[in-house]
Amino acid sequence: MKNTTLNRLGFQLLALALALGITSLILLAVGARPIQVFKDMFGSLGSVNKFSDVLVSWVPLLLVTAGLLITFAAGLWNIGVEGQITLGAIGTTMMLRSLQDSAMNPALIITLSVLAGMFAGALWAALAGALKTFGGVNEIFGGLGLNFVATALTIYLIFGPWKRPGTGSMSGTEPFADPLHLPLFEGLRLSPWSLVIAIAGIIFVYFLLQGTYFGLRLKAVGRNFRAAYLLGIPTWQYMMFSFLLCGALAGAAGALQVTAVYYRLIPAISSGYGYLGLMVAMLINYQAIWAVSVALFFAALNIGSIQLPILHKLDSSLSGVLQGMLVLFVLLAEGARQRFTPKA
Mean pLDDT of 98-107: 92
pLDDT at 197: 96
Of residues 191 and 47, more confidently modeled: 191
CB distance 63 to 197 below 8 Å: yes
pLDDT at 9: 67
Q: Give the pTM.
A: 0.89
Domain ranges of the chain: 1-32+314-344, 47-311
Those residues whose C-beta lies under 8 Å from the C-beta of residue 98, and which sit 6 or more positions away, are: none
For residue 172, pLDDT beyond 80: yes
pLDDT at 46: 67
For residue 1, pLDDT beyond 50: no
Percent with pLDDT over 90 in the chain: 51
For residue 166, pLDDT beyond 80: no
Among 126, 92, 38, residue whose Cα is nearest residue 322 = 38
Q: What is the C-alpha separation between 245 and 22, in angstroms, rounded?
A: 37
CB distance 326 to 19 below 8 Å: yes
pLDDT at 44: 57
| CATH code given to domain 47-311 | 1.10.3470
Rounded to the nearest angstrom, the gap between the alpha carbon of residue 204 and the centroid of all alpha carbons in its chain is 16
CB distance 151 to 86 below 8 Å: yes
Mean pLDDT of 22-42: 78
Of residues 93 and 53, more confidently modeled: 93
Mean pLDDT of 323-334: 77
